[in-house]
């Protein structure tokens, strides 16, 4: 079911009209297409067979290597040059479609549960300030950072990144209060 | 608590190290050693490292005279891309070009060298030679040392822009956004430098002259 959902989402995202629609606007490129491609990996990871999961787990104790991989791969796709590159070169576009699910979504899904509060804190404390700083640069930069996007789009994407950073920060802050209730609810169900 | 075998932690440490090394190396390459976070910076570094050939494109100037950038071979040439209706970045480019033009004029008068030549090329197909002539007049360009040109065959514009890696996007309101930069063609007619228009006019003129073999 998860594999089906993930491939459906991937195919929809890869359809040329969808690709062009999302990539025409910088905001949609950074804050819709890229997160959804990572989501493909997150959803798809649920259908990785247990044996393979265990074999990967032997290289990913505490979720350390997976978290690092997701951190590095997701950071690359925030670089303005990478966005331009994906639009200019079909090879880089294919790389984007491959690396976001495989090197961001899947490792995140496989690592999250074993990361522990320290690891999660580390990951979030690295990602959120990065989004906020990149967002702020896009809003305040006196120059156009992407050759393929207009300045007003860049500012919009900047506000989007700032908001995403704040929203995820608030959600992460609330998570500890919400989680015990949901896990006990799941336990009660099963 | 479940006991985790040490071997797994060693493997994880190894995997993490490989991820950091390979990932870091790829990002390093992809940003030219963290120097090029935008494609504009990347373009400038790449051009400075290896000057690139520019395809021959037929142009005509503000007086309708046909010419090509080839005809400037043997001496450095400054090129920028503008359109005459532009009210945002082109006036800044043209103001800066005007200052470079004046510097070039005074230095060539002083040391008797052949003076630095400038060409402004429009990427707006609506620009006519008459528009270019009015534009030249507005910037008190003589139309010889600083010429204004348009591409004669509209189909060739794209290949010219691609060679210069100038990206022009219509904003839907009849205007365009585009890279703001000065391009230096060296004596062999190759794109050798991409310069920041905010630089001092004398520095721009000197950087352009420096691409010519002495």
Contacts A–B by Cβ distance under 8 A: 81
Distance, in Å, from the CA atom of A33 to the CA atom of A26, rounded to the nearest integer, reads 10
Q: Does one domain contain both B66 and B10?
A: no
Tell me the percentage of chain A whose pLDDT exceeds 90: 76
Q: Does one domain contain both B39 and B128?
A: no
Residue B4: the pLDDT is 60
Q: Does one domain contain both B104 and B138?
A: yes
Query: Do A64 and B16 lie within an 8 Å CB cutoff?
Result: yes
HEC string for B153-185 = CHHHHHHHHHHHCCCEEECCCCCEEECCCEEEE
The domain containing residue A78 runs over which residues? 2-189
Domain-embedded: residue B164? yes
Give how far B121 is from chain A: nearest CA, Å.
19
Distance, in Å, from the CA atom of A129 to the CA atom of B156, rounded to the nearest integer, reads 45
Query: Do B27 and A80 lie within an 8 Å CB cutoff?
Result: no
**Helix ranges restricted to H, chain B:** 6-30, 39-49, 90-111, 129-138, 154-164, 201-210
Within 8 A by CB and 6+ apart from B49, the residues are none
Q: Does one domain contain both B136 and B195?
A: yes
Residue B113 has pLDDT above 70, yes or no: no
Domain-embedded: residue B80? yes
pLDDT band of A175, cuts 50, 70, 90: confident
What value, to the nearest 5°, has the Cα angle with vertex A73 and ends A69 and A78?
145
- For residue A58, the chain B residues in CB contact (below 8 A) are 7-8, 11-12
Q: Which of A19-23, A66-70, A148-152, B107-111 has the lowest mean pLDDT?
A: B107-111
Q: Does one domain contain both B82 and B137?
A: yes
The domain containing residue B40 runs over which residues? 6-46
Residue B173 has pLDDT above 60, yes or no: yes
pTM of this structure: 0.82
Number of domains chain B contains: 2
Contact indicator for A161, A28 with CB cutoff of 8 Å: no
Per-residue model confidence as pLDDT tens digits over B126-142: 999 999 999 999 999 99
- CB A43: neighbour CB atoms within 10 A? 23
CATH number of domain containing B164: 3.40.30.10
Per-residue model confidence as pLDDT tens digits over B53-88: 999 999 999 999 999 999 999 889 999 999 999 988
Q: State how beta strands B146-151 and B59-61 pair.
A: antiparallel
Query: Do A79 and B179 lie within an 8 Å CB cutoff?
Result: no
What is the ipTM, given to two decimal places? 0.84
Sign of CA dihedral A118, A121, A127, A130: negative
Contact indicator for A128, A164 with CB cutoff of 8 Å: no
Give how far A148 is from chain B: nearest CA, Å.
7
Number of domains chain A contains: 1
């Amino acid at each position: 079911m998860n594999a089906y959902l993930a491939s459906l989402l991937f195919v929809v995202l890869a359809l040329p009209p969808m690709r062009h629609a999302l990539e025409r606007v910088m905001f949609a490129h950074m804050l819709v297409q890229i997160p959804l491609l990572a989501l493909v990996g997150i959803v798809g990871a649920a259908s990785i067979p247990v044996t393979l999961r265990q074999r990967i787990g032997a290289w990913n104790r505490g979720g350390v290597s997976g978290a690092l991989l997701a951190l590095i791969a997701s950071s690359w796709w925030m670089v303005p040059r990478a966005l331009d590159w994906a639009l200019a070169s079909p090879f880089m576009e294919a790389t984007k479609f491959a690396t976001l699910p495989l090197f961001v979504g899947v490792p995140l899904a496989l690592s999250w549960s074993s990361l522990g509060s320290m690891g999660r804190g580390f990951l979030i404390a690295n990602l959120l300030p990065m989004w906020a700083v990149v967002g702020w640069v896009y809003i305040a930069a006196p120059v156009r950072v992407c050759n393929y996007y207009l300045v007003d789009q860049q500012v919009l994407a900047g506000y989007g990144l700032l908001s995403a950073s704040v929203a995820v920060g608030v959600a992460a802050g609330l998570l500890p209060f919400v989680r015990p209730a949901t896990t006990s609810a799941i336990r009660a169900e099963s | 608590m479940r006991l985790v075998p040490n071997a797994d932690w060693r493997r994880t440490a190894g995997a993490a190290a490989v991820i950091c090394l390979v990932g870091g190396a790829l990002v390093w390459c992809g940003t030219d050693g963290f120097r090029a976070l935008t494609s504009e910076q990347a373009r400038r570094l790449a051009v400075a490292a290896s000057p690139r050939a520019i395809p021959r494109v037929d142009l005509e100037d503000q007086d309708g005279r046909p010419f090509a950038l080839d005809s400037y071979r043997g001496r450095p040439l400054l090129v920028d891309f503008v359109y005459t209706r532009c009210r945002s970045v082109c006036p800044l480019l043209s103001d800066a070009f005007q200052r470079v033009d004046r510097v070039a004029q005074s230095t060539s008068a002083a040391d008797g060298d052949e003076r630095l030549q400038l060409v402004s090329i429009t990427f707006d197909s609506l620009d006519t030679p008459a528009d270019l002539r009015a534009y030249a007049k507005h910037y008190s360009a003589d139309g010889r040392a600083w010429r204004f040109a348009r591409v004669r065959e509209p189909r060739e514009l794209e290949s010219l822009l691609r060679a210069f890696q100038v990206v022009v996007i219509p904003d839907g309101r009849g205007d365009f956004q585009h890279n703001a930069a000065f391009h230096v063609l060296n004596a062999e007619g190759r794109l050798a430098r991409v310069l920041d228009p905010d630089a001092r006019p004398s520095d721009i003129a000197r950087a352009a002259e420096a691409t010519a073999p002495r």
